[in-house]
Structure 1
Amino acid sequence: MNVRMELTYKTPKGIEAEFSSNEMNIEEALLIAEDVQKTGRAKHLTFIDENARSWTIKELKKFAEGIQTEPYHVSVYFDGGFNRETRKSGLGCAVYYEQNGKTYRVRKNALVDELESNNEAEYAALDLALKELERLGVHHLPVRVIGDSQVVIHQLNGEWPCYEESLSRWADRIESRMEKLGITPDYQSVSRKENREADQLASQALKGTDIMSTIDI
């Protein structure tokens, strides 16, 4: 979760001015707030989150302590492949996150046979990743969503229209799942080379190799 700070600053001569910061992560915001408070000149210091909710410094500290035991700083890589001959799809995803001061990586793939195109496979791979986020207990956080499918990234970003009914259903499913989890997605389009890990997982699924692993890195 990102927040911005709002405060009133009062000089020794009694001149007051109101300030609002740029958005930043909770850890940075608390560090700056504590530094500002040391001056003794900050008044009415509050934090505003992405949902326009207001937090006091005490409330935000308590929240920050709580999320240390839950996944945070989450990034998701996804990729899907469709084999026209076998009509099967390989789905792959890699989830990176921090928890209890450690960094973890989850790798997951799946072989499915109910899809009709490569674009559907890409959407299904992202859906697979979101199921993993739900399993991990990720909720009410910003999440980097990274893929090499420009169709999926730009359609979910609202930059491209979604005319195909099948893809529209997938987009609705993805957005509904994210809303349920309280996830704020940051969609990022990358090259296939930069998405190599998810691509390999999808290819392995098409070859019949099942993968499900979690490691700390």
Structure 2
Amino acid sequence: MQIKIEWTYTTAKGTEVFFQSENMTVEKAVLVAEDIEKTGRAKHVHFIDHQESSWKLKELKKYMEGIQTEPHNVTVYFDGGFDRESRHSGLGCAIYYDQNGKSYRLRKNAAVDELKTNNEAEYAALHLALQELEFLGVHHLPVTFIGDSQVVINQLKDEWPCFEEELSRWMDRIEEKTHTLGIQPDYQLVGRKKNQEADHLASQALKNIEIMSTIELDAE
């Protein structure tokens, strides 16, 4: 979960100034807020999440304790590829998350034959990622989904209408799964160069190269 800190700073002569930070992880926000409070000049320190809900420091620490043993700070990259000649589709996703104080990356792809268009493959790749999140035990958390399909991202953000019956059914599947898992999705559109990992996984699936791996990432 990304969160902002808001606080009022009081100078030695009593002048007050309001500050708001940029978005940051919960862990970083707690560390920064604790340091701010040590100055003795900060008042009304609180946190604002992506849904504009307000948290106190004590509440945020309790939240952190509750999620440490479960996957959190989840970011998903997804991509789908479709070969018109063979009618063969490749789906790929890369999932980054934290758990028990460590960071991990999961890679997964799949080959599919029953799809008819590239847009369907993109939706199917996102659905594949949601299935992996379910297997990981991700639930009732904000999750960032990153893809390079304007159709999928803009339709899921309700910025573009969906007229195709097949894509509408995929949207229903996605929304049903996120609702069941209690996931609050944040859909972000990027260029293909910034989605190369998921694109490569989808391309490997088209070549019938199966990938399923999870590794621990080195701490920065």
TM over 0.5: yes
- TM value normalised by structure 2: 0.82
Question: 1:87 maps to what in 2?
Answer: 87
Question: 1:185 maps to what in 2?
Answer: 186
Segment drifting more, 88-97 vs 39-48: 39-48
Unaligned runs of 5+ in 2: none
- Residue 76 (structure 1) shift: 1.6
CA distance 1:198–1:43, change in 2 (3 Å): closer
Which residue identity lines up with residue 190 of structure 1 in the other structure?
A: G
Question: 1:148 maps to what in 2?
Answer: 148
Say whether residues 1:46 and 2:18 are aligned partners. Answer: no
Q: How does 1:14-53 map to 2 (within 5 A)?
A: 19-53=19-53
2:75 touches 2:144 (CA, 8 Å); kept in 1?
yes
Which residue identity lines up with residue 48 of structure 2 in the other structure?
A: I
CA distance 1:9–1:148, change in 2 (3 Å): closer
Q: How does 1:1-217 map to 2 (within 5 A)?
A: 1-10=1-10, 19-180=19-180, 181-191=182-192, 193-217=193-217
- Residue 30 (structure 1) shift: 1.5
Residue deviations 1:89-108 (CA, integer Å, cap 9, x gap) = 22111112222333222111
CA distance 1:215–1:172, change in 2 (3 Å): same
Residue deviations 1:177-196 (CA, integer Å, cap 9, x gap) = 234332331413222x4433
Q: Percent identity?
A: 64
CA distance 1:138–1:18, change in 2 (3 Å): same
Which residue identity lines up with residue 72 of structure 1 in the other structure?
A: H
CA distance 1:196–1:33, change in 2 (3 Å): closer
Q: CA–CA distance in 1 between the matches of 2:5 and 2:208?
A: 51
1:140 touches 1:184 (CA, 8 Å); kept in 2?
no
Q: CA–CA distance in 2 between the matches of 1:75 and 1:16?
A: 38
2:123 touches 2:170 (CA, 8 Å); kept in 1?
yes
SS of the residue 2:109 aligns to: strand
CA distance 1:44–1:147, change in 2 (3 Å): closer
CA distance 1:39–1:206, change in 2 (3 Å): closer
Which residue identity lines up with residue 188 of structure 1 in the other structure?
A: L
Residue deviations 1:91-130 (CA, integer Å, cap 9, x gap) = 1111122223332221112222322211101110011011
Q: CA–CA distance in 2 between the matches of 1:54 and 1:199?
A: 38
Which residue identity lines up with residue 159 of structure 2 in the other structure?
A: E
2:153 touches 2:187 (CA, 8 Å); kept in 1?
no
2:143 touches 2:183 (CA, 8 Å); kept in 1?
no
1:142 touches 1:186 (CA, 8 Å); kept in 2?
no
Which residue identity lines up with residue 65 of structure 1 in the other structure?
A: E
1:153 touches 1:189 (CA, 8 Å); kept in 2?
no
